Amino acid sequence: MAIIAVLDFGSQYTQVIARRIRESQVLTRIYHYTTSAAKLESEGVEGIILSGGPASVLAEGSPRPDSGIFNLGVPVLGICYGLQLMATMLGGKVGSSNRREYGRGHLKVNTKDCPLLVGVPQTSRVWNSHGDKIESLPEGFMQAASTENSGFAAVEDRGRSFFGLQFHPEVVHTDHGKEILNNFIFGVCACQKNWTMSGYIEKAIDEIRQTVGDQNVILGLSGGVDSSVAAALLHQAIGSRLTCVFVDNGLLRKGERAKVEKLYSDNFNLNLKVVDASAQFLATLAGITDPEAKRKAIGHVFIEVFEEAINDIGNVQFLGQGTLYPDVIESVNIAGNPSAVIKSHHNVGGLPEKMNLQLLEPLRELFKDEVRALGAELGLSKEVLWRQPFPGPGLGVRVIGDITVERLDILREADAILEEEMFRAGLYYKLWQSFCVFLPVRTVGVMGDERTYDNVIALRLVESIDAMTADWAQIPNNVLQIVSNRIINEVKGVNRVVLDISSKPPATIEWE
């Protein structure tokens, strides 16, 4: 199977490059920029893309790949920093530009037969993000296109199949970016379309059966997209030797436990074990207000609950998880652009070591949109596949401050009203997430002729493609009015509803 390698130099768009190519049914893998040429060759790479990045090639210690990649005899495409890097390493010259290019630019194609620009109009809109510029090209290269401030917006060395772009073809703001990437993977690299979900399912089932043999697997089922698709795939591969454990941690939404039991027991014939550990979780969380401390406490209790479940089931050798490709890509920490931990991952860390289990992650090569496509192939319903994301710690990170039964109950009722109205307005599946947050704030109000001093609920409604960035959704005023009125009138203990109109970045989607 053809593989396009994307060497990651810390660009915020690296995953977008890989996703765009996979959308064209070609397998793409992201590699750390230090990956050796020998490893890439051994994995059968048929083309290499050098990503952008926050560093400058002029800075001392700026990241460099193994120079051997230019001797593998496979096509190479450098994007932004990747182009400047290739130019520098192959004998060209890069300098600091007096006029930096960020945002929109206008591309002018200066040659009619560049393989990378086939089908691209003579002028089009592109998206730039760079402060350096190429001053002279390496031997063998020639200009293919320019922008207002860059004479070398696209360059080529046709003899060696080396190409470079100063702009970002992977982002939607570049008008013909997908065509440019397709020109590279199909026209230059001669890849075939062989990355399909049906093919992936066949390969994954075979690998699961070979790995598991006649042993048993346990999987923590949350009811979300990732764990549901992982469960369906594992069940198709090994049947009754999979046991799914759904943990009621006391932090679920209204009616969640009953919905999950009915959905998976009735429709999928899974071995489903439901564990009510709500008292254990809430006792552990009592008095904890720091968000990260909450997440860690919840993770520790999950370990204890799973230990008990495994002992009850017996003879379990594998832990299944719905880990996705973005979770396993090695992060690139470039000087001046530190990769800070925003929040700990919601997957239950430490389980394999503590329980002496082997980890089984059948979705670890897939992005979120691919997981949904896989789930559709397996016959999962829209209700499961397009359910909005729900954090692993549940309402524990949507009750700001101390977690109490009273606060959780208030939040559940408010959240149920919001969800009902999102469905009624036809908005639920159009939004990435829509949920309520309980604020540890009490405000004065008037209900009837009486003064009230009650709690505040915040509405968080966002649009996004992959949660890497998000913008607040501009919901019709009449819908917001209905939601606000219903929450204040129907949820005892709430007298004020506010709307969060923050984008990501700088805010995160979840409040904690």
Any catalytic annotation for residue 235? no
CA dist., res. 48 & res. 337, Å (int): 24
Q: Active-site residue among 80, 114, 191, 244?
A: 80
Angle at 415 between CA 409 and CA 418, to 5 degrees: 150
CA dist., res. 387 & res. 433, Å (int): 9
Q: Is the dihedral of CA 486, 224, 344, 12 positive or negative?
A: negative
Please give the full DSSP string across 261-315, using - where no structure is assigned: HHHHHHHS--EEEEEE-HHHHHHHHTT---HHHHHHHHHHHHHHHHHHHHHHH--
Any catalytic annotation for residue 80? yes
For 22, residues 6+ apart whose C-beta sits below 8 A from its C-beta are: 28, 195, 367, 370
Strands 93-109 and 142-147, bridge-based pairing: antiparallel
DSSP H or E stretch at residue 73 = none
How many CB atoms sit inside 10 A of residue 69's CB? 21
CA dist., res. 229 & res. 365, Å (int): 13
Strands (E), 17-75: 27-32, 45-50
Structure-token match 């600091």, residue found: 96
- For residue 505, is it left (φ>0), alpha (ψ between -120 and 50) or beta? beta
Amino acid present at 151:
G
Three-class DSSP category at 7: strand
What is the phi/psi pair of residue 346, to 5°?
-75, -15
Strand order of the sheet with strand 93-109?
27-32, 3-8, 45-50, 76-79, 162-165, 150-157, 142-147, 93-109, 123-136
Strand order of the sheet with strand 271-276?
271-276, 242-248, 216-220, 316-320, 358-360
Q: Active-site residue among 170, 256, 370, 421?
A: 170
- Are 495 and 454 spatial neighbours (Cβ–Cβ below 8 Å)? yes
What DSSP designation does 346 have?
A: S
How many CB atoms sit inside 10 A of residue 393's CB? 25
Any catalytic annotation for residue 170? yes
Q: Active-site residue among 114, 156, 168, 413?
A: 168
Active site residues: 80, 168, 170
